[in-house]
A = this chain, B = another copy of it.
Amino acid sequence: MKKHQITIVDIARQLNISKSTVSRALTGHPRVSEKTKEAVLKLAGELDYQRNMLAINLMSSQSHTIGIIVPEFVTSFFPMVIMGAQEVASKAGYNVLISQSNESYETEVANAKVMLDNRVDGVLVSLTRETRNYDHLNVFQRKGIPIVFFNRVCDDMQVPKVVVDDYEGAFKAVEHLILTGRKRIAHLGGPTSLHVSKKRLEGYKDALRKYSQPIDQELILDYDLNLDKVKIYIKHLLDLPQPPDALFTINDPTAFEAMLFMKAKGIKIPEQIAVVGFSNNYGSTLIEPRLTTVAQPTHEIGQVAAQLLLDQINSDASEWKPIYRVLKTELLVRGSS
């Protein structure tokens, strides 16, 4: 299955010059005479020569590839981030190797190994909900391969991170609920291991505090993001002696599930319960009423993260700084609140 390949030697032979000259001509090296350059370029075109990145990669010990490790990419969030990252990366001549861990720690570890094997020049990672151990990521550090976290970041590693202001986003969401007269605001949060869960919970609490509303532990639930379980938690909340009149969820998919369940129960949204989500995922304007949510600048997250990574790739490891970029969120008030 040997593939037919046109190489630099082929061109050199046909033109009866050395391969180094051909290489120089092809790479736009300054010290090549115009005529040889032209001849080379012409023949290369005719022969449909295509440079072999495999060889270049080995030479330079750079794969010209950055890896992206995300927990999933069916809800629109990660695809949007990836788009932003890909834009920046490919503009700089880098490929993007995407792997989804499927929210599985095991898979994340395996994916990391693949990235390592393939000598990615850097990685962008957003952790799974179950990742507690970071050995597989520390390897990158040890090998001098830059990492940038985004969204689901790791507090224990001193590397650049790109997040949105989860605290403020949650704060604004809950404040909005308070200002529209809600008295018992429940929060269905994410796993407490995730940084975003903690921040959003803090924002929730502080908003209540600011307006002197009691923080009722009964109304604060956290769950593992397994959407099938949402209805259980919602049912629990609704069955409370004093059920909530508003719900702030960790993300939009959770809010969708909650709304679907409540609508099936005949509960009026927002009259009986107002709902606010987080992220402005695809679908938030499809559901009825349209979901009020905290929008994240997904595309920008990807761009910024990729740029931060490229900056590290192109600088000495000694100059790497654990830059922490916090992007702004925007509260989108819609029909559900």
Contacts and interface: CB of A to CB of B under 8 A. Distances in A.
Nearest to A290: B260
Interface in A220-270: 256, 260, 263
B75 A5 contact: no
A5 B52 contact: no
A48 B286 contact: no
A144 interface: yes
B2 A61 contact: yes
A137 interface: no
A97 B256 CA distance: 32
A20 interface: no
Interface stretch (A79-87, A159-167, A177-185): A79-87
Given A3-B144, A79-B79, A283-B283, 8 more contacts: A1-B316, A48-B139, A54-B58, A54-B63, A54-B119, A73-B79, A95-B118, A288-B288
Interface of A: 1-5, 48, 50-55, 57-58, 61, 63, 73-76, 79-80, 82-83, 86, 90, 95-100, 114, 116-119, 139, 142-145, 256, 260, 263, 282-283, 285-288, 316-317
